[in-house]
Structure 1
Amino acid sequence: MNRNIVAVALAVVLGASAWYYFGGAGSDRRQAPDGVRAGVARAVPVVAARPAFKDFPLQVEALGTVRAKESVDITSKVADRVAAIHFEEGKQVKRGDVLVELDNQEARADLAAAEAAERDSRSQYKRSQELFQTRALSEAQLDQLEATMLANQARVAAARSRLNDRIITAPFNGRVGLRNVSLGGLVSPGAVITTLDDLSVVKLDFAVPELFLAKLEPGLTIEAQSSAYPDMTFKGRVDSVDTRVDPTTRAVVVRALIDNRNNRLRPGMFMTLKLERSAGKALMLPESAIVPEDTKQFVFVVADGRAHKREVTLGRRRPGEVEILEGVTETDFVVIDGTLSLHDGTAVAVRDGEPGAQAVS
């Protein structure tokens, strides 16, 4: 009996299903226009907007290194002992100030000997001119005496130069660094005695991507900060742009000058900076509209109810937006939401309708 009840129940379920499909709602589906139903199923809901021109100032963030306006290692050209030290560490000096004197006794003796020989040869040359006038001396003898006098004059100049090499002076105004020699110590050629830096103005060198090369020019303002002075902002201006782009990093080195009369900045310091240029107009789209494929960038442009894939060239970026250099214009409708469900030619249903789609603001 239980089997009969189950069989009857199964027959009832099958009959109801057949009625629903063939005589009920199923018949309504068959009567709906195929074209309308298919079109609704294929349309992908998206949000579209027009690109818009916006103010977009040139703003570059970079890392830079501080360098002195002028910087040099003070060294000696000759090997000798230190006879006198005339500077104090960390003090300001002027161009021409004597910093160090080396032992010059031997150089002075050589100079005295050269000057004596020069005086003697000059006296002989003057007497020989009188003898030449009376024909008591040949022209060849006169020329030889003149050559001897000139050679002795050259020896005097050389001896004086060797003496001057033992007096080391400041080549420009600046601040001397730490002293690396002591009185009586032997100095070798090339050994660093101290350093000299002109810190009245410092250079800040930083690298900028080549994308901004056409917009870089002397006079642009920068604002820099250092971890040594977290609450201070140092302002400066671009002084020059390097003539070469690094083939590895594709960046160009830019040099800015910062007034440093307070001597807060020192060579070698690390700084973060922002470079800004006056505002310009740029055609902008939300970043969500960009579809990257390999090394190329695409967007979907809505036309005639379908999404058409189009390659674009991107420029600068800022949070949430990207500059469009080529590929679309401000009259195009671009899909900004729903791109993951699209391919070229997909039918789309634009939210609020195409005429109501709003431009990016």
Structure 2
Amino acid sequence: MPRGVGHRQQRIACSSMLAMALMLSGCDRSQTGPAQNTVQRDTVSVTTTLVASRALSTEIEAVGTARANESVDVTSKSSNIVTAVRFDEGDFVKRGQVLVELDSAEARAAVAEAEATMADSESQFNRSRELFAQKALSISQLDQIEATLKANRARANAANARLSDTVIRAGFDGRTGFRRVSIGGLVSPGAVITTLDDTSTIKLDFTVPETYFYLLKTGLPITAQSAGLPNRPFEGKVTNIDSRIDPATRSVTVRAEIPNRDGALRPGMFMTVLLQGAVAQTLLVPEAAIVPEQGRAYVFVIDGNVAARREVKVGRRRVGEVEIVTGLKEGDRIVVDGTQNLRDGSRVSESTPPAEAPVSS
């Protein structure tokens, strides 16, 4: 055999053996690779935390309108001419202070006449009693004279009351509104002369859904704010809760009182209210642990090194946390990071960063 031909056969044989080796190596990798990948896919790295019971106060948001502690329209009881105005718009007045005087000439004359008639009746009654004692007057005659005296006394009292009505006074300490009368003007019965508001305390009425009714009680603190006074919160407390729930709105009216010593708040102001409800122990979990799906909420609970998907009912929320009403118990370990890679029954390797330990309220 020629030497060149032998060399070519050796090279062909070596090439065949190398190709066979590469094929076997490829087969080996194709058989072992997927198994290794399957193991890697079955174990998911997650971060977990323990479910803990912590204090949570309910915060209820509402809106209401400010009202004066006491508020009236100052009016006249009779039709008369204004003779004096004793206040200026916006004045702070004391209870009993004179605000307006009306023409009293006719009322004074009526009082004088009624009192004279009453005095005459008293004299006649005194003489009649002496005559009755002397048996010169019958009991029925004495009774008639006494009845006349009582009637004249009543007329005198009524005349004095009408005279008193010509002086209009403040019914309580407060601030006057716009003046709506002038000296010489005629006022009619019921016509508004001015308004009077006691704003030392502001009453704030607002409605709360009946689902929170069990949390309500007098003395609960509130914080209120008005757009007209930005960045200034006003503190107060609940003083009364309506005895009825509105069947149309399913809400209850709550009244709070806010001290207003500097008079910053005015009746009629629209205010937002934050009501601090009672503090209670409840289960709180990080919001990242909740997996929403078709209107329901789930979490992954770790048992050993297996993640089990569990449905939960969520309640109140605060920044970064959610209340769990049902579905978990204190001490359960749940996944807070890595839920997107989990299915029910997934095997996990977990870590618990100390920085994410529960923070007490």
Report the TM-score, using the length of structure 2 for normalisation.
Answer: 0.75
Match of 1:160 in 2: 160
Cα 1:353–1:231, aligned 2, differ >3 Å: closer, same or farther? closer
Asked if residue 191 in structure 1 is aligned to residue 182 in structure 2, the reply is no
Match of 1:347 in 2: 345
Contact 1:299–1:312 (Cα < 8 Å) also in 2: no
Match of 1:92 in 2: 92
Moved more, 115-124 or 136-145: 115-124
Matched residues in 1 for 2:100 and 2:327: separation?
A: 68
Contact 2:80–2:188 (Cα < 8 Å) also in 1: yes
Match of 1:130 in 2: 130
Asked if residue 76 in structure 1 is aligned to residue 38 in structure 2, the reply is no
Moved more, 151-160 or 236-245: 236-245
Match of 2:104 in 1: 104
Aligned residues between the structures: 335
Match of 2:3 in 1: none
Asked if residue 312 in structure 1 is aligned to residue 313 in structure 2, the reply is yes
Matched residues in 2 for 1:338 and 1:249: separation?
A: 43
Matched residues in 1 for 2:243 and 2:326: separation?
A: 28
Report the TM-score, using the length of structure 1 for normalisation.
Answer: 0.75
Deviation at 1:170, TM superposition (A): 0.5
Matched residues in 2 for 1:228 and 1:249: separation?
A: 28
What is the identity, as a one-letter code, of the residue corresponding to 2:320? G
Cα 1:166–1:241, aligned 2, differ >3 Å: closer, same or farther? same
- SS for the counterpart of 1:121 is helix
Q: Which runs of 5+ in 2 are unaligned?
A: 1-22
Matched residues in 2 for 1:220 and 1:63: separation?
A: 16
Counterparts of 1:168-247 in structure 2, within 5 Å, are 168-247=168-247
Cα 1:319–1:164, aligned 2, differ >3 Å: closer, same or farther? same
Match of 1:271 in 2: 271
- SS for the counterpart of 2:111 is helix
- SS for the counterpart of 1:352 is strand
Match of 1:257 in 2: 257
CA deviations 1:137-166 (Å, max 9, x no partner) are 111111111111111111212222222223
Match of 1:67 in 2: 67
What is the identity, as a one-letter code, of the residue corresponding to 2:271? M
Cα 1:147–1:291, aligned 2, differ >3 Å: closer, same or farther? farther
Deviation at 1:171, TM superposition (A): 0.5
CA deviations 1:317-356 (Å, max 9, x no partner) are 112211123332113344556767888xx323334289xx
Cα 1:71–1:293, aligned 2, differ >3 Å: closer, same or farther? farther
Matched residues in 1 for 2:111 and 2:28: separation?
A: 123
| Greater radius of gyration (CA) | 2
Matched residues in 2 for 1:228 and 1:41: separation?
A: 60
Matched residues in 2 for 1:294 and 1:27: separation?
A: 40
Matched residues in 2 for 1:181 and 1:197: separation?
A: 18
Matched residues in 1 for 2:221 and 2:207: separation?
A: 15
Contact 1:240–1:254 (Cα < 8 Å) also in 2: yes
Moved more, 136-145 or 202-211: 202-211
Moved more, 129-138 or 77-86: 77-86
Deviation at 1:226, TM superposition (A): 3.3
Matched residues in 2 for 1:27 and 1:233: separation?
A: 70
Deviation at 1:282, TM superposition (A): 2.9
Deviation at 1:117, TM superposition (A): 2.0
Matched residues in 2 for 1:215 and 1:133: separation?
A: 75
What is the identity, as a one-letter code, of the residue corresponding to 1:145? I
Match of 1:326 in 2: 326
- SS for the counterpart of 1:95 is coil
Matched residues in 1 for 2:266 and 2:207: separation?
A: 19
CA deviations 1:187-222 (Å, max 9, x no partner) are 222222111111223233344444544444444444
Deviation at 1:280, TM superposition (A): 5.0
Matched residues in 1 for 2:357 and 2:28: separation?
A: 43
What is the identity, as a one-letter code, of the residue corresponding to 1:307? A
Match of 1:3 in 2: none
